[in-house]
Structure 1
């Protein structure tokens, strides 16, 4: 029996996870089975981002900091974070009754 860890204010809700899950790559077919759920990795990343702490200071009930850092770095290199930001921005624009993509941009410079 596995213990359920304490929840943190930064943990994703089910609705938030449903929005992000399609942008998170699944485990590779034929590879080793995943030791940690992808949602736990993302929860650890949300905690790290909000806390602004060093990787080694992640609470011990999250996956090991080395694992969390590895996924953060890999997803950054592959452009996953940009994809996630795009999904969230479009979702929010639709929620506000606007088109998913902006129709104009403004550049202001001195």
Structure 2
């Protein structure tokens, strides 16, 4: 199992809002995913990922970070 699989589990839970224990079986064990989520959240990594993805999406739709078209 690699970090990408764990990140996929975190993103799945954040997107769908399911209980951690209800993650699909093709993802790593929920206890592993949740442990990493807690560590990454405390370190600010989840917010950094969110900000990067948000910036990439805004660039894709050709908007800047200040809401101007």
TM-score (norm 1): 0.51
Aligned: 1:95 with 2:60: yes
Any stretches of 5+ residues in structure 2 without a counterpart?
none
Cα distance in structure 1, aligned partners of 2:45 and 2:35: 13
Report the CA distance between 1:78 and its aligned residue: 0.7
Q: 40, 44, 47: which is aligned to 2:5?
A: 40
- In terms of fraction of residues, the more helix-rich structure is 2
Cα distance in structure 1, aligned partners of 2:27 and 2:67: 41
Any stretches of 5+ residues in structure 1 without a counterpart?
1-35, 105-110
**Structure whose CA Rg is larger:** 1
Task: Count residues in correspondence.
Answer: 68
Task: Return closer, same or farther for 1:98/1:49 CA change in 2, 3 Å cut-off.
Answer: closer
TM-score (norm 2): 0.74
Residue aligning to 1:61? 26
Aligned: 1:80 with 2:10: no
Runs in 1 of length 4+ with deviation above 4 angstroms?
none
Report the CA distance between 1:86 and its aligned residue: 1.4
RMSD after superposition: 2.1
